[in-house]
Structure 1
Amino acid sequence: MELEFPSIPLEVRPWKILRTSIHTFLQNYQYFTISALLALPFSLANLLSQTLVPFSPLLPKIHLHLQPLFHASNFPLSPKLFSILTLTLSRTLTSSILVLPFSLSFLLIAKTSIIQILSLQKPPLQPSFSSFLSIYNPILLTQICNLFLILSVNATCFSLLFLAFNFLEGLGYSSPASLLSLFATGFILYSLILANTIVTCNLALVSSGVEKYAGVFAILKACVLIRGRAATALAVAVPVNIALGGVEALFQYRVVRAYNEASSFEGFMGLEGFFVAYLYSIVVVIETIVSCELFKRCRSAFRVGNEEGRYFYWIEAGNVKNLEVLP
């Protein structure tokens, strides 16, 4: 018998999840400040990478490999739009590669400390180093799988977009208006798919820290929990991502622009840059707390469904078993 996952309404609204997360952050600010300081090197690297990308030797190499790949796929775009697309992808890939060592070290250490604090029965208790390592190892493995998942989703979306363009052109709909409409539709769908993937990856990291799942099985558990609640998860993630984008824009405006206009580095620029990077770390901490709160709500709703006898689903030791569907 095929196992169905009925949609269980999430009692807490997205704004309540955000409010609870901010309240948790303020209530345990002394502990989360340490996590923000741990994430500070990642924040600095991420903010500076957007400025240093044009000077990186990786950018021309990646751009040189992407251009023939897009040409071979017969992407029917104007030369100007084609150049913008390939350059944007090249800059994004270069920035991700430059920040990757900090993402796998400082960022994961900060997220592990947050998940460890929130997984305790009473957050004021001092977490132990051994429990930290027991959480960090599965989180690291899950993050590596998340990277491969995001790359696979991007490659799949672009492949489907290429096929759609070629199919439309084969049917004779090769006018600029139809191609532009398809490109806009594809971009919207791509954004939604990528946003759902990122939310799922964040839940998988929390699942790895709380329930000690690792790798693919943590991602599978996150997919099960988020089923039927994608709209709530996206509504929670949007304000946090807007805040991250706002801090990045603030860094470009207050630090990078001031440096370009002065043509020299002054002391107050460094202090202001550290302050903006610390704000970025605070938002990263709040994002992790929001993911933990969302995970807790989704797991509670999932258990309610089991107790009501709607379904019974079990993931253990790398095995996925459909035990029973109760009447």
Structure 2
Amino acid sequence: MKDYSSVSMQGTGNIIRRSIFIFLQNYQFFTTTAALLAFPFAVSVLLLQAFIPSTSFVRAIHDHLHALFDAAGLPSSSKLFTLLNSKLSQTIAISFLAFPFTFSSLLFAKASIFKALTDQKPSKKPAVSSFFSLYSSLLLTQLCTSLVIISANATCFTLLFFAFNIFNCGFNLSSPEFIFLISVTGAIIYSTVLASTMIICNLALVLSGIEKIGGYVAILKACFLIRGKTATALLLTLIFNLALAAVEALFQYRIVKAYHHKRTGFSAISLEGMFIAYLYAILLVLDTISSCLFFECCKTGRQMDEEGCFPYQIEIEDRDNHAVLMTNTLEELS
């Protein structure tokens, strides 16, 4: 039997290729209903990332985190912790201010995609009212995943606090080299834990939309399904995050820079900014589709582990050809 822990780049590329294929087969729905539902969230994120870093709100969060690091005995004056403090304060501010759009626009967009991929009536487009049947479970899971992410951050900083103080008191190591080493180690551990947490939370949200399981039950089941597929999940997350970061950089270069230098008129900047935000929404739709395929990949591997079967059918709706039956073995997706 194939070793599921050795997942290659081929599995990630196959999932992305199938995601694009499904998107193009149903492009009328995904580029209108789903993308327009995600559009307000995309606009909020791009605007907040462009104008929030220089506000007093972010500086207040930065100062509070700096004081917290000092009180915990962490080397807050080191360059790495300064960078971490800056990025963390911006992330907290953007997440807090984009909170209404995350729980409305983004969740409704995801609900529309889940409904479109699992609808058993291919001849009819899913109505907006049908998204509400998935919204309650998605909302509960989103609230639980937010608490899990906050808990993961608190756990990481607690472990860093104990590790740094134990090494500092036990070995009396206060040299710049030691501070740099402990800072790099802490940053790697923090990034790994946070990335794994985000992947599990994202998979739990997909599970809620497809199987209508909400809350911590979805998170626990996601932890069970993700085993052996962490490499694929990390690659998918990295690829789509890089794509989203590229659109954010494009917004900074084309819109924010032009706005500050007043190179063009406000109407032209607004139209171009809306187009870039629409591209951002399209990437969010593609990311959600790939997450659904990754969920089916994990489900396939787990079913093969438990039952010893080889083929596993995944039915994903095709609104032009009524249905696309994809019979995949674990070899194809991994």
Range into which the TM-score falls when normalised by the shorter chain: 0.7 to 0.9
Structure 2 equivalent of residue 276 of structure 1:
276
Q: Deviation string for 1:208-250 (max 9, x for gaps)? A: 1111110100011111100111111111221111100100111
Amino acid at match of 2:19: S
How far does the alpha carbon of each residue in 1:77-131 deviate from its partner, in whole angstroms, 9 at most, with x for none?
Answer: 4366555443332222111111111000000000100011011246553224554
**Aligned ranges 1:41-60 → 2 under 5 Å:** 41-54=40-53, 56-60=55-59
1:304 positional shift: 1.6
Correspondence for 2:240: 240
Partner of 1:28: 26
Q: SS of the residue aligned with 1:13?
A: helix
Label 1:271 to 1:166 Cα distance change in 2 as closer, same or farther (>3 A).
same
Could you say if the C-alpha distance between residues 144 and 278 of structure 1 is closer, same or farther in structure 2, counting changes exceeding 3 Å?
same
Matched residue, 1:319: none
Match of 1:314 in 2: none
Residue 226 of structure 2 is matched in structure 1 by 226
Structure 2 CA distance, aligned partners of 1:265 and 1:70?
45
Alpha-carbon separation, structure 1, partners of 2:81 and 2:138:
38
| Separation of aligned partners in 2, 1:130 and 1:268 | 35
**Distance in 1 (alpha carbons) for counterparts of 2:140 and 2:202:** 13
2:64 corresponds to which residue?
A: 65
> Cα 1:116–1:149, aligned 2, differ >3 Å: closer, same or farther?
same
Q: Give me the whole-angstrom Cα distance separating, in 1, the residues matched to 2:121 and 2:199.
A: 27
Q: Secondary structure at the match of 2:52?
A: helix
1:261 maps to a residue whose letter is: H
State the alpha-carbon separation in 2 of the partners of residues 65 and 8 from structure 1.
41
| Residues 200/85 of structure 1: CA separation in 2 closer, same or farther (3 Å cut) | closer
Q: How far has the Cα of 1:308 moved from its partner?
A: 2.3
Equivalent residue for 2:87? 88
* AA matched with 1:143: Q
The one-letter amino acid of 2:16's match is: L
- State the alpha-carbon separation in 1 of the partners of residues 236 and 58 from structure 2: 34
- Measured in 2, the distance between the counterparts of 1:91 and 1:8 equals 35
> What is the alpha-carbon root mean square deviation over aligned residues?
2.2
- 2:116 aligns with 117
> What CA distance in whole angstroms lies between the structure 2 residues aligned with 1:110 and 1:198?
19
* Residues 153 and 206 (structure 1), Cα distance of their counterparts in 2 relative to 1, 3 Å cut: same
Question: Residue 287 of structure 1 aligns with which residue?
Answer: 287
Counterparts of 1:300 and 1:131, CA distance in 2: 27
Superposition map of 1:160-239 within 5 A: 160-170=159-169, 171-239=171-239
The structure-2 alpha-carbon separation of the partners of 1:230 and 1:150, relative to structure 1 and needing over 3 Å to count, comes to: same
The letter for the 1-side match of 2:247 is V
Q: TM-score, normalised by structure 2?
A: 0.85
Shift of the 123–203 alpha-carbon distance from structure 1 to 2, 3 Å rule, reads: farther
Partner of 1:318: none
Are the equivalent residues in 1 in contact too, given 2:81–2:183 (CA < 8 A)?
A: no
CA contact (8 A) 1:8 1:302 kept: no
The TM-score with structure 1 as length reference comes to: 0.86
Q: Is the 8 A contact 2:69 2:75 kept in 1?
A: no
Give 1:56 deviation, angstroms. 4.5
Instruction: Output one character per residue of 1:162-205: Cα deviation in whole Å (capped at 9) or x when no partner.
Output: 22111221112221112212211221222122111111111111
Conserved 8 A contact 2:7-2:231: no
Counterpart AA for 2:298:
C
Q: Does 1:149 align with 2:148?
A: yes
Unaligned runs of 5+ in 1: 1-5, 310-327
- Cα displacement (A) at 1:45: 0.3
- Relative to structure 1, the CA distance from residue 124 to residue 169 in structure 2 (aligned partners, 3 Å threshold; closer, same or farther) is farther
TM superposition shift of 1:294:
0.3
Alpha-carbon separation, structure 1, partners of 2:267 and 2:194: 39
2:98 is paired with a residue whose SS is helix
**Whole-angstrom CA distance in 1 between matches of 2:78 and 2:12:** 42
Residue in structure 2 matched with residue 126 of structure 1 by the alignment: 125
Structure-2 separation of matches of 1:224 and 1:22: 27
SS at match of 2:73: coil
- Seen in structure 2, the aligned counterparts of structure 1 residues 173 and 286 have a Cα distance that, compared at 3 Å, is same
Q: What residue is the counterpart of 2:331 in the other structure?
A: none
**Farther-moved stretch of structure 1 (293-302 vs 66-75):** 66-75
SS in 2 for 1:214: coil
- Displacement of 1:54: 4.0
| Residue aligning to 2:99 | 100
C-alpha contact (below 8 Å) 1:9/1:301 kept by paired residues: no
